[in-house]
């Protein structure tokens, strides 16, 4: 309920002399200001209706509070505004050149609607709808305008391609042996879609961000690609929590019993000192104190950025933390540490801290300038000598290694010519409410250029949560456990036949009982044995001239690959019988084998790679075994569907009372794990164990405070009795010049308590 503790508004709702008000505004200029001359349509709004409902995958008779929320506004406009020379129909006509809207779009325009009442203290208004216009119909005959608008789900328009990430099939088959599960939570999927549509649950990526990872239920880059799990360990998989609550949603856990380490690629090469103003910004949130304990596999690593390969080739900047809480920055030339500087040091008990490190390497002066931020406190810049640091990139993008040595989240590496203004002093204000999901996935479904709203709906439907945008346009995802906990709350409104109810009917059907739940789940997995990612399609496809040349290849499927130099084989060894990336090179003109050619592969996105071919000869080379057999192959991880498991769960008590009544959950690509499926089935069996009375189309006095999923009580002492405790799963709210403000509710009643 909106503003439940506002006594003035409560009195206006229950007053026998009600004076409802409406505010309808359209942002015709699409600039967020609603300042266009025709933005305020309140004076010409003759009627307006907002319909808000929950739609889910369960059969209608179950009517559980689950599914996705949608809202629609319809409005009828007529008459003239005091400041306009013509009626609203002519003002909004798209064909009148003297209309203030002439040449401007009239659909897909942001719109808001507030409803409320006039009170002695002034107008008391509540937001009822935030969305955008879907249609606008202007009638010349009666000079009216009909408007229809849909809610903010239309904001989720950016095409969504989920990264090619999945747990290895060996780990999925025997997690006890491997000791760490690379599972993905619903929260990560929902947040990933939101971020691609400019809605930020946690801090957004900085301008010129090269790499970022939120850790919200998945060690998967949000900015970047080519994700590889390098290591992970848990002492006891039954008790070690791989993710814990952080400042924003889930954080990757780390400590004496658990650690996760991952490496992936930046969006561009990482070249410190490339120009005079090139500098980099490292940022993350970490839970640390003055005394920290690491897993035996951990060495204090938090985040490292390398020009080629961490502490092996090229140069590396690495930020670590010690067991005593000291932050350090170390520069590596190849495998040699050439400089280490200290940053802030934490003391006291472990707590969440915001950390940043700005690093500028001047290759000409041979110096490094560093500046730190910890919890909004910024240190002065310090310049120190750094004369030994390699900028070798090997033709590929930068590489990031990140570790949950301690709990971490919201990690970023970005280009920044200078430290940000007010660095760390203004915490991010979350733009959405994203619950921790009950569902964990072994791998992300293969979604390429998918509809964002559909991806979220499918992911949340796998666990029967609630998702949608509220009256103010704010997104929220609520899991079933949270929804059920809220359902036990004190009712926000009492509706009685004497005051609020104009009619009441109730129906109860045994069809609402479901005491046997059946479900199937299929994990998406990374194959244990490498597969052919790409092979040359024709003998002449890769013909290469003398010198160095580069060929870009689009892969037949998205997959993460490491940098690799291919193996040169003689024609007698082709085809390769192993999983080795290999080729045979011949003199294109004579067909003789050439053994001094090198081929390296680099990946620049999940779907593309480049081959860099170095031909030191004076002639063209061909990659073939003979005149008819092409010979270049690349291997890598493939993805497959694991074994499908079908399972049933039963509420024996309910089945003994009502007989077995089965609910078969529809297949869902996001339902992949048995323990998650069991938890969801158990929740459903509890909610569907007894017949649920349904109250549909209950007309009540309009109350703009009521929202979906609110708990109300109804009392009809001279009719159906009560009190009846019920949950709001549908609202149709209307205001008109003739009928005032009224609501029609769809309610899911709780079963009556029987002795």
| Cβ(191)–Cβ(201) below 8 Å | yes
pLDDT of 122 strictly over 60 = yes
pLDDT tens string 623-632:
999 999 999 9
Predicted pLDDT of residue 237: 60
The enclosing H or E element of 458 equals helix 452-461
DSSP of 554-566:
E-SS------EEP
Rounded CA gap, 449 and 460, in Å? 19
Pull the structure tokens for residue 753: 């308590």
Mean pLDDT over 7-26 rounds to: 90
54 — pLDDT class (breaks 50, 70, 90): confident
Rounded CA gap, 331 and 341, in Å? 9
504 — pLDDT class (breaks 50, 70, 90): low
CA 692 to mean position of chain CA atoms? 34
CB contact burial 692-704 (16+ within 10 A = b; e otherwise)? bbbbbebebbbbb
3-state helix, strand, coil in the chain (%, to 5): 10, 40, 45
Predicted pLDDT of residue 345: 98
Q: What are phi and psi of 643, to 5 degrees?
A: -70, 135
Rounded CA gap, 220 and 184, in Å? 9
DSSP of 300-369:
SEEEEEESSBTTTBSEEEEEEE-TTSEEEEEEEETTEEEEEEEEEE--SS-EEEEEEEEEEEETTTTEEE
Which is it for the CA torsion 443, 449, 455, 458, positive or negative? negative
Predicted pLDDT of residue 101: 86
Rounded CA gap, 286 and 229, in Å? 20
pLDDT of 17 strictly over 80 = yes
pLDDT tens string 151-174:
998 889 899 999 999 988 888 888
510 — pLDDT class (breaks 50, 70, 90): low
- Parallel, antiparallel or unpaired: strands 184-185 and 440-441: antiparallel
755 — pLDDT class (breaks 50, 70, 90): very low
Partners of residue 524 on adjacent β-strands: 641
CA-wise closest residue to 438 among 76, 177, 167, 682: 682
507 — pLDDT class (breaks 50, 70, 90): low
Rounded CA gap, 475 and 434, in Å? 8
Rounded CA gap, 708 and 746, in Å? 10
Pull the structure tokens for residue 183: 């599972």
Rounded CA gap, 248 and 320, in Å? 22
CA-wise closest residue to 361 among 267, 301, 277: 277
CA-wise closest residue to 411 among 422, 403, 419: 403
472 — pLDDT class (breaks 50, 70, 90): very high
pLDDT: is 502 or 383 the higher one?
A: 383
pLDDT of 288 strictly over 80 = yes
* Helices and strands in the chain, H and E counts: 9, 48
Average pLDDT, the chain: 89
DSSP of 263-279:
EEE-SS---TTSSTT--
Predicted pLDDT of residue 754: 45
Three-class secondary structure of residue 192 per DSSP: helix
Where do the H-state alpha helices sit in 174-322? 175-178, 186-196
Q: Give me the residue label for tokens 């969440």.
A: 352
Partners of residue 403 on adjacent β-strands: 261
- Parallel, antiparallel or unpaired: strands 582-583 and 567-568: parallel
Rounded CA gap, 90 and 99, in Å? 7
């Amino acid at each position: 309920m909106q503003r439940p503790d506002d006594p003035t508004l409560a009195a206006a709702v229950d007053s026998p002399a009600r004076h409802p008000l409406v505010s309808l505004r359209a942002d015709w200029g699409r600039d967020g200001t609603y300042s266009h001359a025709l933005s305020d349509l309140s004076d010409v709004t003759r009627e307006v209706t907002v319909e808000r409902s929950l739609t889910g995958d369960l059969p209608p008779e179950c009517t559980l509070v689950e599914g996705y929320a949608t809202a629609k506004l319809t409005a009828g406009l007529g008459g003239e505004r005091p400041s306009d020379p013509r009626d609203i129909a002519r003002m909004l006509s798209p064909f009148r050149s003297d209309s203030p809207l002439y040449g401007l779009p009239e659909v897909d325009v942001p719109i808001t609607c507030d409803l409320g009442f006039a009170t002695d203290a002034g107008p008391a208004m509540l937001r009822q709808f935030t969305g955008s216009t879907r249609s606008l119909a202007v009638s010349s005959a009666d000079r009216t305008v009909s408007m229809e608008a849909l809610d903010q789900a239309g904001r989720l328009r950016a095409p969504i391609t989920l990264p090619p990430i999945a747990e290895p099939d060996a780990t999925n088959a025997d997690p006890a042996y491997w000791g760490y599960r690379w599972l993905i939570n619903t929260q990560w999927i929902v947040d990933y879609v939101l971020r691609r549509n400019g809605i930020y649950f946690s801090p957004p990526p900085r301008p010129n961000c090269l790499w970022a990872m939120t850790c919200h239920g998945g060690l998967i880059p949000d900015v970047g690609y080519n994700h590889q799990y390098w290591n992970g360990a848990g002492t006891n998989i039954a008790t070690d929590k791989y993710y814990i609550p952080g400042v924003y949603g889930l954080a990757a856990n780390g400590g004496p019993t658990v650690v996760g380490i991952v490496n992936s690629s930046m969006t561009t090469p990482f070249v410190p000192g490339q120009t005079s103003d090139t500098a980099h910004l490292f940022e993350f949130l970490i839970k640390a104190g003055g005394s920290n304990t690491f897993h035996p596999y951990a060495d204090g690593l938090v985040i490292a950025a390398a020009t080629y390969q961490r502490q092996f080739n090229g140069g590396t900047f690495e930020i670590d933390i010690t067991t005593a809480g000291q932050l350090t920055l170390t520069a590596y030339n190849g495998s040699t540490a050439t400089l280490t500087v200290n940053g802030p040091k934490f003391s006291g008990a472990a707590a969440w801290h915001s950390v940043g490190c700005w690093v500028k390497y001047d290759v000409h002066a041979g110096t490094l300038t560093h500046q730190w931020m910890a919890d909004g406190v910024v240190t002065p810049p310090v310049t120190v000598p750094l004369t030994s640091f390699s900028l070798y990139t090997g033709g590929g993008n930068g590489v990031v290694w990140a570790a949950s040595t301690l709990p971490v989240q919201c990690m970023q590496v970005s280009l920044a010519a200078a430290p940000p203004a007010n660095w760390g002093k203004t915490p991010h204000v979350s733009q959405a409410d994203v619950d921790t999901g009950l569902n964990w996935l072994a791998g992300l479904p293969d979604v390429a250029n998918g509809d964002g709203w559909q991806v979220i709906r499918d992911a949340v439907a796998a666990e029967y949560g609630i998702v949608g945008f509220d009256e103010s346009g704010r997104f929220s995802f609520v899991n079933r456990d949270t929804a059920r906990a809220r359902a036990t709350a004190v009712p926000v409104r009492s509706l009685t036949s004497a005051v609020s109810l104009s009619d009441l009917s109730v129906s109860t059907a045994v069809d609402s009982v479901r005491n046997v739940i059946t479900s199937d789940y299929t994990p998406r997995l990374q194959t244990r044995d490498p597969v052919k990612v790409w092979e040359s399609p024709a003998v002449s496809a890769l013909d290469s001239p003398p010198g160095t040349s580069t060929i870009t290849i689009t892969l037949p499927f998205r997959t993460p690959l490491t940098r690799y130099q291919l193996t040169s084989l003689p024609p007698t060894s082709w085809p390769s019988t192993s999983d080795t990336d290999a080729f045979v090179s011949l003199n294109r003109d004579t067909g003789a084998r050439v053994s001094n050619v090198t081929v390296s592969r680099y990946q620049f996105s999940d779907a593309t790679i480049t081959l860099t071919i170095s031909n030191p000869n004076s002639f063209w080379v061909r990659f073939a075994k003979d005149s008819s057999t092409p010979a270049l192959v690349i291997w890598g991880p493939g993805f497959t569907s694991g074994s499908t498991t079908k399972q049933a769960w039963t509420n024996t008590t309910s089945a003994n009372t009502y007989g077995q009544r089965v609910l078969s959950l529809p297949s869902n690509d996001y339902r992949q794990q048995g323990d998650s499926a069991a938890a969801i089935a158990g929740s459903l069996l509890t909610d569907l164990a007894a017949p649920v009375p349904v109250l549909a189309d209950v007309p009540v006095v309009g109350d703009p405070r009521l929202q979906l999923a609110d708990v109300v009580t109804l009392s009809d002492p001279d009719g159906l009795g009560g009190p009846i405790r019920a949950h709001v799963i549908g609202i149709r709210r209307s205001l008109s010049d003739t009928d005032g403000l009224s609501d029609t509710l769809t309610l899911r009643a709780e079963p009556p308590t029987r002795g």
